[in-house]
A and B are shown apart, each in its own frame.
Chain A
Amino acid sequence: MNRRKWFLKGMRAGIPISLGYFAVSLALGIAAKNAGITSWQAALTSLLINASAGEYAGFTLIAAGATYLEVAVMEAVANARYLLMSASLSQKLKSGVPFWQRLLMGFTVTDEIFGVSISLPVPLDPFFTYGTFCVATMGWTSGTFVGVLLGGVLPLRVISALSVGLYGMFISVFIPEARKNRVVLGLVAVSFAASLACAYLPLISKISEGIRIIILTIVISLIAALLFPIKDDESKEKEAEE
Protein backbone atom coordinates (compact mmCIF):
# COMPACT_ATOMS: atom_id res chain seq x y z
CA MET A 1 0.00 0.00 0.00
CA ASN A 2 1.28 3.45 -0.84
CA ARG A 3 0.92 6.68 1.17
CA ARG A 4 -2.23 7.75 -0.62
CA LYS A 5 -4.03 4.49 0.06
CA TRP A 6 -3.00 4.55 3.72
CA PHE A 7 -4.19 8.13 4.01
CA LEU A 8 -7.60 7.27 2.52
CA LYS A 9 -7.92 4.20 4.72
CA GLY A 10 -7.10 6.41 7.71
CA MET A 11 -9.71 8.96 6.67
CA ARG A 12 -12.34 6.24 6.58
CA ALA A 13 -11.39 5.15 10.11
CA GLY A 14 -11.64 8.81 11.13
CA ILE A 15 -15.31 9.27 10.16
CA PRO A 16 -16.91 7.62 13.23
CA ILE A 17 -14.29 9.26 15.44
CA SER A 18 -15.08 12.64 13.92
CA LEU A 19 -18.81 12.21 14.57
CA GLY A 20 -18.14 11.15 18.16
CA TYR A 21 -15.74 14.07 18.61
CA PHE A 22 -18.28 16.52 17.28
CA ALA A 23 -20.77 15.38 19.92
CA VAL A 24 -18.32 15.47 22.80
CA SER A 25 -16.75 18.77 21.81
CA LEU A 26 -20.16 20.44 21.79
CA ALA A 27 -20.15 19.90 25.54
CA LEU A 28 -16.56 21.15 25.64
CA GLY A 29 -17.60 24.33 23.80
CA ILE A 30 -20.23 24.97 26.44
CA ALA A 31 -17.52 24.71 29.11
CA ALA A 32 -15.37 27.13 27.11
CA LYS A 33 -18.23 29.61 26.90
CA ASN A 34 -18.61 29.48 30.68
CA ALA A 35 -14.90 30.35 30.97
CA GLY A 36 -15.50 33.48 28.87
CA ILE A 37 -13.72 32.12 25.78
CA THR A 38 -14.94 33.07 22.29
CA SER A 39 -15.87 30.48 19.67
CA TRP A 40 -12.73 31.20 17.59
CA GLN A 41 -10.43 30.95 20.61
CA ALA A 42 -12.09 27.69 21.64
CA ALA A 43 -11.74 26.27 18.11
CA LEU A 44 -8.04 27.24 18.10
CA THR A 45 -7.57 25.48 21.45
CA SER A 46 -9.21 22.32 20.11
CA LEU A 47 -7.17 22.39 16.91
CA LEU A 48 -3.88 22.72 18.83
CA ILE A 49 -4.58 20.54 21.85
CA ASN A 50 -7.04 17.85 20.75
CA ALA A 51 -7.56 16.43 24.23
CA SER A 52 -10.94 16.30 25.94
CA ALA A 53 -9.84 15.93 29.55
CA GLY A 54 -6.94 18.33 29.11
CA GLU A 55 -9.09 21.03 27.54
CA TYR A 56 -11.86 20.65 30.10
CA ALA A 57 -9.36 20.97 32.91
CA GLY A 58 -7.71 23.93 31.18
CA PHE A 59 -10.97 25.81 30.63
CA THR A 60 -11.99 25.20 34.23
CA LEU A 61 -8.71 26.62 35.52
CA ILE A 62 -8.85 29.60 33.17
CA ALA A 63 -12.37 30.33 34.41
CA ALA A 64 -11.00 30.24 37.96
CA GLY A 65 -8.25 32.74 37.04
CA ALA A 66 -5.35 30.31 37.56
CA THR A 67 -1.73 31.21 36.74
CA TYR A 68 -0.05 30.14 33.47
CA LEU A 69 2.14 27.72 35.43
CA GLU A 70 -0.86 26.08 37.08
CA VAL A 71 -2.49 25.58 33.69
CA ALA A 72 0.74 24.09 32.29
CA VAL A 73 1.08 21.65 35.20
CA MET A 74 -2.58 20.67 34.91
CA GLU A 75 -2.08 19.86 31.20
CA ALA A 76 0.93 17.69 32.02
CA VAL A 77 -1.09 15.74 34.56
CA ALA A 78 -4.29 15.44 32.53
CA ASN A 79 -2.43 14.34 29.39
CA ALA A 80 0.37 12.23 30.86
CA ARG A 81 -1.24 9.04 29.53
CA TYR A 82 -0.19 10.22 26.05
CA LEU A 83 3.40 9.54 27.13
CA LEU A 84 2.53 5.85 27.38
CA MET A 85 0.57 5.83 24.14
CA SER A 86 3.41 7.61 22.34
CA ALA A 87 5.86 5.01 23.67
CA SER A 88 3.57 2.23 22.45
CA LEU A 89 3.33 3.86 19.03
CA SER A 90 7.13 4.09 18.78
CA GLN A 91 7.11 0.28 18.68
CA LYS A 92 4.18 0.02 16.29
CA LEU A 93 5.59 2.46 13.73
CA LYS A 94 7.10 0.96 10.61
CA SER A 95 10.86 1.36 10.27
CA GLY A 96 12.55 4.33 8.61
CA VAL A 97 10.08 7.04 9.64
CA PRO A 98 12.02 10.35 9.66
CA PHE A 99 12.25 12.71 12.65
CA TRP A 100 9.86 15.37 11.37
CA GLN A 101 7.21 12.73 10.77
CA ARG A 102 7.66 11.46 14.30
CA LEU A 103 6.89 14.99 15.50
CA LEU A 104 3.78 15.02 13.33
CA MET A 105 2.76 11.55 14.56
CA GLY A 106 3.14 12.73 18.15
CA PHE A 107 0.91 15.71 17.52
CA THR A 108 -1.94 13.41 16.42
CA VAL A 109 -1.97 11.19 19.54
CA THR A 110 -5.43 11.09 21.15
CA ASP A 111 -7.19 8.20 22.86
CA GLU A 112 -9.25 7.32 19.81
CA ILE A 113 -6.71 7.98 17.04
CA PHE A 114 -4.20 5.99 19.04
CA GLY A 115 -6.83 3.26 19.43
CA VAL A 116 -7.44 2.77 15.72
CA SER A 117 -3.72 3.14 14.89
CA ILE A 118 -2.61 0.51 17.39
CA SER A 119 -5.34 -1.94 16.35
CA LEU A 120 -4.04 -2.17 12.76
CA PRO A 121 -2.76 -5.70 12.16
CA VAL A 122 0.44 -4.47 10.45
CA PRO A 123 3.29 -2.04 11.29
CA LEU A 124 1.87 1.47 11.24
CA ASP A 125 2.33 3.77 8.26
CA PRO A 126 2.13 7.36 9.59
CA PHE A 127 -0.08 8.37 6.67
CA PHE A 128 -2.87 6.18 8.03
CA THR A 129 -2.79 8.18 11.25
CA TYR A 130 -2.59 11.50 9.39
CA GLY A 131 -5.73 10.57 7.44
CA THR A 132 -7.57 9.69 10.63
CA PHE A 133 -6.38 12.87 12.31
CA CYS A 134 -7.45 15.19 9.48
CA VAL A 135 -11.01 13.89 9.51
CA ALA A 136 -11.24 13.56 13.30
CA THR A 137 -9.94 17.05 14.04
CA MET A 138 -12.58 18.59 11.77
CA GLY A 139 -15.28 17.13 14.01
CA TRP A 140 -13.43 18.10 17.17
CA THR A 141 -12.63 21.67 16.19
CA SER A 142 -15.98 22.48 14.58
CA GLY A 143 -17.85 20.86 17.48
CA THR A 144 -16.06 23.09 19.97
CA PHE A 145 -16.81 26.14 17.80
CA VAL A 146 -20.51 25.27 17.50
CA GLY A 147 -20.68 24.35 21.19
CA VAL A 148 -19.71 27.88 22.23
CA LEU A 149 -22.37 29.33 19.91
CA LEU A 150 -25.11 26.91 20.92
CA GLY A 151 -24.43 27.22 24.63
CA GLY A 152 -27.39 25.69 26.37
CA VAL A 153 -29.63 25.60 23.28
CA LEU A 154 -29.11 21.93 22.40
CA PRO A 155 -31.40 19.51 24.28
CA LEU A 156 -29.61 17.73 27.10
CA ARG A 157 -31.08 14.44 25.88
CA VAL A 158 -29.19 14.73 22.60
CA ILE A 159 -25.87 15.60 24.25
CA SER A 160 -26.37 12.70 26.65
CA ALA A 161 -26.87 10.17 23.86
CA LEU A 162 -23.98 11.50 21.79
CA SER A 163 -21.48 11.51 24.63
CA VAL A 164 -21.62 7.73 25.04
CA GLY A 165 -20.33 7.26 21.47
CA LEU A 166 -16.69 7.73 22.44
CA TYR A 167 -16.93 4.87 24.91
CA GLY A 168 -18.40 2.74 22.14
CA MET A 169 -15.21 3.41 20.21
CA PHE A 170 -12.99 2.44 23.14
CA ILE A 171 -14.97 -0.78 23.55
CA SER A 172 -14.51 -1.72 19.92
CA VAL A 173 -10.73 -1.41 20.30
CA PHE A 174 -10.19 -3.58 23.38
CA ILE A 175 -12.99 -6.17 23.00
CA PRO A 176 -11.84 -7.73 19.67
CA GLU A 177 -8.33 -8.17 21.14
CA ALA A 178 -9.85 -9.64 24.34
CA ARG A 179 -11.67 -12.19 22.23
CA LYS A 180 -8.40 -13.31 20.62
CA ASN A 181 -6.24 -13.20 23.74
CA ARG A 182 -7.30 -14.66 27.10
CA VAL A 183 -4.81 -12.51 29.01
CA VAL A 184 -6.25 -9.32 27.52
CA LEU A 185 -9.75 -10.54 28.37
CA GLY A 186 -8.70 -11.02 31.99
CA LEU A 187 -7.00 -7.61 32.00
CA VAL A 188 -10.16 -5.88 30.78
CA ALA A 189 -12.11 -7.43 33.67
CA VAL A 190 -9.39 -6.53 36.19
CA SER A 191 -9.17 -2.97 34.79
CA PHE A 192 -12.93 -2.47 35.09
CA ALA A 193 -12.96 -3.73 38.68
CA ALA A 194 -9.88 -1.77 39.76
CA SER A 195 -11.09 1.41 38.10
CA LEU A 196 -14.50 1.07 39.77
CA ALA A 197 -12.89 0.48 43.16
CA CYS A 198 -10.59 3.49 42.79
CA ALA A 199 -13.48 5.74 41.81
CA TYR A 200 -15.31 5.08 45.07
CA LEU A 201 -12.64 4.18 47.65
CA PRO A 202 -12.03 6.92 50.23
CA LEU A 203 -8.78 8.89 49.71
CA ILE A 204 -8.00 7.28 46.33
CA SER A 205 -11.18 8.72 44.81
CA LYS A 206 -9.88 12.19 45.77
CA ILE A 207 -6.99 11.81 43.29
CA SER A 208 -7.79 13.42 39.94
CA GLU A 209 -9.17 11.14 37.25
CA GLY A 210 -6.17 11.75 34.97
CA ILE A 211 -3.69 10.59 37.62
CA ARG A 212 -5.84 7.58 38.54
CA ILE A 213 -5.86 6.46 34.90
CA ILE A 214 -2.06 6.70 34.70
CA ILE A 215 -1.45 4.86 37.98
CA LEU A 216 -3.91 2.07 37.15
CA THR A 217 -2.53 1.70 33.62
CA ILE A 218 1.06 1.41 34.81
CA VAL A 219 0.37 -0.94 37.72
CA ILE A 220 -1.97 -3.33 35.88
CA SER A 221 0.11 -3.43 32.66
CA LEU A 222 3.33 -3.95 34.58
CA ILE A 223 1.94 -6.84 36.63
CA ALA A 224 0.57 -8.39 33.42
CA ALA A 225 3.93 -7.95 31.67
CA LEU A 226 5.71 -9.72 34.53
CA LEU A 227 3.19 -12.56 34.87
CA PHE A 228 2.35 -13.03 31.18
CA PRO A 229 5.25 -11.91 28.98
CA ILE A 230 4.24 -11.91 25.31
CA LYS A 231 5.79 -14.38 22.92
CA ASP A 232 8.36 -12.83 20.61
CA ASP A 233 6.45 -13.77 17.49
CA GLU A 234 3.18 -12.21 18.70
CA SER A 235 3.30 -9.33 16.23
CA LYS A 236 4.24 -11.62 13.35
CA GLU A 237 1.32 -13.93 14.11
CA LYS A 238 -0.98 -10.94 13.88
CA GLU A 239 0.36 -10.08 10.45
CA ALA A 240 -0.08 -13.62 9.23
CA GLU A 241 -3.74 -13.59 10.27
CA GLU A 242 -4.62 -10.85 7.82
Chain B
Amino acid sequence: MNIYIYIACMAGVTFLIRVLPLTLIRKEIKNKTLRSFLYYVPYVTLSVMTFPAILHATQSPIAAAAALVAGILLAWFGRSLFFVAVSSCVIVFLLELFL
Protein backbone atom coordinates (compact mmCIF):
# COMPACT_ATOMS: atom_id res chain seq x y z
CA MET B 1 0.00 0.00 0.00
CA ASN B 2 1.36 3.41 -1.00
CA ILE B 3 0.74 6.36 1.30
CA TYR B 4 0.62 8.80 -1.63
CA ILE B 5 -2.17 6.85 -3.31
CA TYR B 6 -4.07 6.95 -0.02
CA ILE B 7 -3.62 10.73 0.12
CA ALA B 8 -4.70 11.08 -3.53
CA CYS B 9 -7.88 9.06 -2.86
CA MET B 10 -8.74 11.21 0.15
CA ALA B 11 -8.01 14.47 -1.66
CA GLY B 12 -9.90 13.49 -4.84
CA VAL B 13 -13.09 12.43 -3.08
CA THR B 14 -13.09 15.42 -0.74
CA PHE B 15 -12.50 17.86 -3.61
CA LEU B 16 -15.39 16.43 -5.64
CA ILE B 17 -17.78 16.73 -2.70
CA ARG B 18 -16.76 20.33 -2.15
CA VAL B 19 -16.95 21.59 -5.74
CA LEU B 20 -19.96 19.74 -7.17
CA PRO B 21 -22.75 21.93 -5.69
CA LEU B 22 -20.80 25.16 -6.23
CA THR B 23 -20.19 24.40 -9.89
CA LEU B 24 -23.54 22.75 -10.69
CA ILE B 25 -25.82 25.28 -8.99
CA ARG B 26 -25.13 28.37 -11.07
CA LYS B 27 -28.36 30.29 -10.68
CA GLU B 28 -30.29 31.73 -7.81
CA ILE B 29 -32.65 29.09 -6.46
CA LYS B 30 -36.25 30.32 -6.73
CA ASN B 31 -37.93 27.54 -4.75
CA LYS B 32 -38.86 29.01 -1.38
CA THR B 33 -38.56 25.81 0.63
CA LEU B 34 -35.14 25.03 -0.81
CA ARG B 35 -33.97 28.60 -0.20
CA SER B 36 -35.18 28.42 3.39
CA PHE B 37 -33.51 25.03 3.81
CA LEU B 38 -30.15 26.36 2.63
CA TYR B 39 -30.53 29.41 4.88
CA TYR B 40 -31.04 27.20 7.96
CA VAL B 41 -28.37 24.56 7.11
CA PRO B 42 -25.29 26.41 8.41
CA TYR B 43 -26.78 27.26 11.79
CA VAL B 44 -28.21 23.80 12.33
CA THR B 45 -25.07 21.96 11.24
CA LEU B 46 -22.75 24.10 13.39
CA SER B 47 -25.08 23.65 16.39
CA VAL B 48 -25.22 19.90 15.88
CA MET B 49 -21.43 19.73 15.60
CA THR B 50 -20.92 21.81 18.75
CA PHE B 51 -23.07 19.88 21.16
CA PRO B 52 -22.46 17.43 22.75
CA ALA B 53 -19.09 17.03 20.95
CA ILE B 54 -17.57 19.96 22.86
CA LEU B 55 -17.97 17.99 26.11
CA HIS B 56 -15.59 15.31 24.84
CA ALA B 57 -13.04 17.71 23.38
CA THR B 58 -11.40 18.47 26.72
CA GLN B 59 -10.05 16.42 29.63
CA SER B 60 -12.89 17.56 31.89
CA PRO B 61 -16.48 17.78 30.56
CA ILE B 62 -17.27 20.32 33.30
CA ALA B 63 -14.61 22.71 32.00
CA ALA B 64 -15.98 22.26 28.47
CA ALA B 65 -19.54 22.94 29.65
CA ALA B 66 -18.37 26.13 31.36
CA ALA B 67 -16.61 27.20 28.15
CA LEU B 68 -19.79 26.48 26.17
CA VAL B 69 -21.98 28.60 28.43
CA ALA B 70 -19.44 31.41 28.55
CA GLY B 71 -19.01 31.28 24.77
CA ILE B 72 -22.76 31.54 24.19
CA LEU B 73 -23.06 34.52 26.56
CA LEU B 74 -20.04 36.32 25.07
CA ALA B 75 -21.27 35.79 21.50
CA TRP B 76 -24.79 36.86 22.48
CA PHE B 77 -23.46 40.14 23.81
CA GLY B 78 -21.56 40.83 20.63
CA ARG B 79 -17.97 39.77 21.33
CA SER B 80 -15.85 38.95 18.28
CA LEU B 81 -15.10 35.46 16.99
CA PHE B 82 -11.50 35.70 18.14
CA PHE B 83 -12.47 36.87 21.63
CA VAL B 84 -15.00 34.07 22.05
CA ALA B 85 -12.57 31.39 20.83
CA VAL B 86 -9.67 32.54 23.01
CA SER B 87 -11.89 33.01 26.08
CA SER B 88 -13.18 29.46 25.84
CA CYS B 89 -9.60 28.13 25.66
CA VAL B 90 -8.55 30.20 28.69
CA ILE B 91 -11.58 29.05 30.70
CA VAL B 92 -10.81 25.40 30.02
CA PHE B 93 -7.13 25.83 30.85
CA LEU B 94 -7.82 27.60 34.15
CA LEU B 95 -10.63 25.29 35.24
CA GLU B 96 -8.62 22.18 34.47
CA LEU B 97 -5.92 23.40 36.85
CA PHE B 98 -8.42 22.83 39.65
CA LEU B 99 -10.67 20.03 38.39
Q: Which of B64-98 contact A (CB under 8 A)?
A: 64, 67-68, 71-72, 74-76, 78-82, 84-90, 92-93, 96-97
Q: Which of A181-230 contact B (CB under 8 A)?
A: 183-184, 187-188, 191-192, 194-196, 199, 209, 212-213, 216-217, 220-222, 224-226, 228-230
**Also in contact, A87 and B21, with CB within 8 A (given A65-B1, A230-B39):** yes
- Whole-angstrom CA separation of A80 from B21 in the bound complex: 11
Interchain CB contact under 8 A, B36 and A224: yes
Interchain CB contact under 8 A, B81 and A116: yes
Interchain CB contact under 8 A, A191 and B85: no
Q: For residue A84, which residues in chain B have a CB less than 8 angstroms away from its CB?
A: 21, 38, 41, 45
Interchain CB contact under 8 A, A88 and B42: yes
Interchain CB contact under 8 A, B28 and A13: no
Q: For residue B47, which residues in chain A have a CB less than 8 angstroms away from its CB?
A: 170, 174, 187-188, 191-192, 195
Q: For residue B12, which residues in chain A have a CB less than 8 angstroms away from its CB?
A: 72
**Known contacts A170-B49, A195-B51; 19 further A-B pairs (Cβ under 8 A):** A49-B14, A54-B14, A58-B10, A62-B3, A68-B5, A68-B9, A80-B17, A83-B21, A86-B22, A99-B23, A102-B22, A157-B59, A165-B88, A172-B85, A175-B75, A176-B76, A177-B43, A187-B44, A195-B52
Query: Which of A3-11, A40-48, A138-146 faces chain B?
Result: A40-48
Which residues of B line the A interface, CB within 8 A? 1, 3-7, 9-15, 17-23, 25-26, 28-29, 32-54, 57-60, 63-64, 67-68, 71-72, 74-76, 78-82, 84-90, 92-93, 96-97
**Also in contact, A169 and B89, with CB within 8 A (given A86-B21, A106-B18, A164-B54):** no
- Whole-angstrom CA separation of A156 from B72 in the bound complex: 25
Interchain CB contact under 8 A, B72 and A175: yes
Contact partner, B6, options A19, A68, A109, A187, Cβ 8 Å = A68
Interchain CB contact under 8 A, A230 and B35: yes
Residue in chain A with minimal CB distance to B75: A175
- A76 CB–B CB distance under 8 Å: yes
Which residues of A line the B interface, CB within 8 A? 13, 15-16, 19-20, 23, 37, 41, 44-45, 48-51, 54-55, 58, 62, 65, 68, 71-72, 75-76, 79-91, 93, 99, 102-103, 105-107, 109, 111, 114-116, 118, 156-158, 160-179, 183-184, 187-188, 191-192, 194-196, 199, 209, 212-213, 216-217, 220-222, 224-226, 228-230, 232, 234
Interchain CB contact under 8 A, B14 and A20: no
Main secondary structure of the interface of B (DSSP, over half): helix
Report, nearest first, the 9 A-B pairs whose CB atoms are least far apart.
A106-B19, A191-B47, A175-B75, A161-B93, A168-B85, A225-B36, A168-B88, A16-B82, A86-B21
Contact partner, A192, options B13, B29, B51, B85, Cβ 8 Å = B51
Main secondary structure of the interface of A (DSSP, over half): helix
Residue in chain B with minimal CB distance to A20: B85
**Also in contact, A75 and B71, with CB within 8 A (given A89-B22, A178-B43, A229-B32):** no
